[in-house]
Amino acid sequence: MEYLVSMEKPLVLLGCAYLSWKIVRHIWGFLNVEKEPVTVLVTGAAGQIGYALVPMIARGAMLGPDQPVIIHMLDIEPAAEALKGVKMELIDAAFPLLKGVVATTDVIEACKGVDIAVMVGGFPRKEGMERKEVMSKNVSIYKAQASALEKHAAPDCKVLVVANPANTNALILKEFAPSFPEKNITCLTRLDHNRALGQISERLNINAGDVKNVIIWGNHSSTQYPDVNHATVDTGNGLKPVRELVGDDCWLNAKFITTVQQRGADIIKARKLSSALSAASAACDHVHDWVLGTPKGTWVSMGVYSDGSYGVPPGIIYSFPVTCEKGEWSIVQG
Ligand SMILES: NC(=O)c1ccc[n+]([C@@H]2O[C@H](COP(=O)([O-])OP(=O)(O)OC[C@H]3O[C@@H](n4cnc5c(N)ncnc54)[C@H](O)[C@@H]3O)[C@@H](O)[C@H]2O)c1
Ligand SMILES: O=C(O)C[C@H](O)C(=O)O
């Protein structure tokens, strides 16, 4: 009884604080007060992915339709003119959410105060190459840019590495920016995740939005393992396992897996250039879910720092199923 009486006051105070917070939020929304802009860095912004990505960010596809943004774009000197052109086009598109654009070849200016860094700068592979073959060129970029990010970005900056080999570049960034929280450095395997959703939806002739909970395990390379063992389809009449609906384990265990593993190479073969619009879209999905949260009952794939889950050696960047809440990812267990 005494215990309950002693708890009464703090509970009432907590209740009042919660109510006041709800009222302030309500009035804030009612007055339509604009949010503070979030600063997003895109490196390699004059390249193919950059060109597809920056308008998506400026339109709210990454951080939501009510979140103003400032975009910092970095590229190297030979691409400076092209970068200037991208800036001109961003201005010409008159995006209401876009509150500022910086286009620069100076890595320090680019990294200053950024809240989110999407690291696309680097060289893509050509037809017939594996992604690890661009390692010697690209890894040195990530060594050099790690310390600029560490020194000049916002302290809680979230980093998404897109440039290949993505897991390795993210690991290098983590090694060379030791004060960055490990949780803040991730790499893109959402493109592979979305490709898996796309293959299932094509096979079943349904909308990709009705398929969920595929998993990409491992590396953004041909060794990745696309897993449908827990994937489901929303049939409109409850969730059904993908395996049951597809009803063809031979396809799921062979062709489906190699198609997802080799999709990047197939696109290079067809386009003579590596994937760009799907990569940009996946980068938006990755950051969107990381910052704004994954829907209830849904996980996504992200290349994250391994904590030893599932027997994966700790300290490497590995793609796991994750859920996100309040800007933090956690590996789905079990
Ligand atoms: N993880 C994924 O799912 C995924 C998907 C598609 C592409 N990629 C990779 O993304 C990278 C970019 O692809 P792209 O098609 O946009 O290539 P791109 O060649 O069209 O553009 C890359 C840009 O990076 C710039 N750059 C080079 N060095 C730089 C540096 N030190 N700092 C800043 N910018 C620099 C280049 O000048 C160029 O403008 C490649 O490594 C590609 O393989 C990854
Ligand atoms: O395949 C590539 O080299 C580009 C990218 O990693 C992709 O998966 O499309």
Q: Is 112 helix (H, G, I), strand (E, B) or coil?
A: coil
**Probe residue for ligand 2, chosen from 195, 260, 275, 278 as the CB with the greatest number of ligand atoms within 8 Å:** 275
What pLDDT score does 189 carry?
A: 98
Residue of 72, 220, 286, 288 marked active site: 220
Which residues are CB-neighbours of 301 under 8 A, at least 6 positions away?
A: 189, 190, 192, 193, 214, 215, 216, 319, 320, 321, 322
What pLDDT score does 144 carry?
A: 87
What pLDDT score does 23 carry?
A: 59
Annotation says 26 is catalytic: no
More confident residue, 255 or 8: 255
- Is the pLDDT at 326 greater than 90? The verdict is yes
Taking the CA of 49 as reference, the closest ligand is 1
What pLDDT score does 29 carry?
A: 56
What pLDDT score does 287 carry?
A: 99
pLDDT in tens, 99-128: 999 999 999 999 999 999 999 999 998 899
Report pTM: 0.92
Report ipTM for this prediction. 0.99
Taking the CA of 48 as reference, the closest ligand is 1
What pLDDT score does 1 carry?
A: 46
- Is the pLDDT at 28 greater than 90? The verdict is no
Sign of CA dihedral 309, 189, 115, 68: negative
What pLDDT score does 33 carry?
A: 81
* C-beta separation of 150 from 174 below 8 A: no
Separation in Å, CA 287 to CA 182, 184, 328: 16, 11, 11
What pLDDT score does 200 carry?
A: 98
Q: Ligand 1: distance of its center to the CA of 124 in Å?
A: 6
What pLDDT score does 140 carry?
A: 87
CA distance 202 to 216: 18
CA nearest ligand 2 atom 7, residue: 264
pLDDT in tens, 34-82: 899 999 999 999 999 999 999 999 999 999 999 999 999 999 999 999 9
CA nearest ligand 1 atom 35, residue: 121
CA nearest ligand 1 atom 26, residue: 121
Arithmetic mean of pLDDT, 292-309: 98
- Is the pLDDT at 31 greater than 70? The verdict is no
The binding-site residues of ligand 1, defined as CB within 6 angstroms of any ligand atom, are 43-44, 46-50, 74-76, 79, 120-125, 134, 138, 141, 162-164, 166, 188, 191, 220, 274-276, 279
pLDDT in tens, 196-209: 999 999 999 999 99
Taking the CA of 281 as reference, the closest ligand is 1
Compute the mean pLDDT over every residue in the chain, rounded to the nearest whole number.
Answer: 93
| pLDDT band at 30; cut points 50, 70, 90 | low
**Ligand 1 atom closest to Cα of 138?**
41
224 annotated to bind ligand: no
